[in-house]
Amino acid sequence: MSTPANAHRSPDRSAAVLLRFSLDGRAELKRRASELGMTVQQYADWKLLDADPSKPVGGRATGQRPLEGLSA
């Protein structure tokens, strides 16, 4: 039996999810996030996943390359 290709992957990796909005809907999303001082990603995490908006989004520090900081 074969092993799935993603079996070795770190749980720190992220997945991309495509959401489609009209141009007006996208502008509204950006406006709402901006009014709260958030990025669209932070706003989406907060609204869609009930994530704490005060916590940083993502698994790595700003400017850090993808594999830096991961233990072997």
- Euclidean distance between CA atoms 68 and 32, whole angstroms: 33
**Inter-axis angle of helices 40-49 and 23-35, nearest 10:** 90
Q: Is 6 helix (H, G, I), strand (E, B) or coil?
A: coil
The pTM (predicted TM-score) of the whole model is 0.58
Closest CA to 51 of 39, 59, 40, 42: 42
Secondary structure letter of residue 3 according to DSSP: P
Whether residue 15 is contained in a domain is answered as no
2-55 tens-digit pLDDT: 666 666 666 666 778 889 999 999 999 999 999 999 989 889 989 998 888 877
Radius of gyration of the chain, Cα coordinates, nearest whole angstrom: 16
Domain count, the chain: 1
Does the pLDDT of residue 60 top 60, yes or no?
A: no
Helices (H), the chain: 23-35, 40-49
Whether residue 8 is contained in a domain is answered as no
Residue 28 belongs to domain spanning: 24-55
